[in-house]
Amino acid sequence: MDYYDNLGYLINKAARMTKWDLNNALTDVGITSAQWGLIRDIFLTESICNNEAERLCKLTPAAIAERMHADRPTISCMVEKLVKQDFAYRVSNPNDRRSQIILLTDKAKVLIPKLMQLAEDTLEKATTGFSEEDTKQLKEYLSKVIENLM
């Protein structure tokens, strides 16, 4: 019984290992790899928003969940944790009283370069010995697996 011939096991294990490695790297900062992914999404989305209207529709929990292919309770709870840790804050949406805009605090923004680097380090470690073509091919394979299951 060779676990390393079972694709389901391999995908799951690779996911756990990359999360585990990044969690370790992020311990000092006090966030998890999943939280980093959320911070990263909000940061990059803020960067490309050119005006208030874009921010109002692209930085709601629903929009973030959609972009990250995650479900809204998960994003809602994770945002709550970031707010509690003063990494993010909520602003009411003037156009929709149900909705709110999620923005990053300065405390989070100053950490972005370091967090980007830590995440990059984990992925570089994960792909040690891979050529650029290997990494590209792996991404294509995983994209196709995801597409097949959507």
Partner DNA sequence: TCCGTATAGTTAGTATACTAACTATACGGA
Residues at the site binding DNA, with contacts judged by CB under 7 A: 12, 16, 20, 32, 34-35, 60-63, 70-74, 76-81, 90, 93, 95-100
Strand (E) or helix (H) holding 101: strand 100-104
The site string for a second copy over 59-98 (x = CB under 8 A, - otherwise) reads --------xxx-----------------------------
Q: Give start and end residues of each alpha helix (H) in the chain.
A: 7-26, 33-48, 52-58, 61-67, 72-84, 106-109, 112-126, 132-149
Shortest Å distance, C-beta 128 to DNA:
20
Scanning the structure block, which residue is given the tokens 């490695």?
Answer: 21
Handedness of CA 27, 30, 36, 38 (dihedral sign): positive
Residue 44 or 92 with smaller CB distance to a second copy: 44
- Residue 13 interacting with a second copy (CB under 8 A): yes
Please list, in sequence order, all residues whose beta carbon lies within 8 angstroms of the beta carbon of residue 99, skipping any fewer than 6 positions away: 60, 62, 93
Per rule CB under 8 A, is residue 9 in the interface with a second copy?
Answer: yes
State the binding string over 99-128 for a second copy (x if CB under 8 A, else -).
Answer: --------------------x--xx-xxxx
Sole binder of a second copy in the list 23, 29, 32, 37 (CB under 8 A): 37
Contacts 24+ apart (CB under 8 A), 22-26: 22/118, 22/119, 22/122, 25/118, 25/121, 25/122, 26/115, 26/118
> Interface with a second copy by CB under 8 A: which residues?
1, 3-5, 7-22, 33, 37, 41, 44-45, 48, 67-69, 119, 122-123, 125-130, 134-135, 137-139, 141-146, 148-150
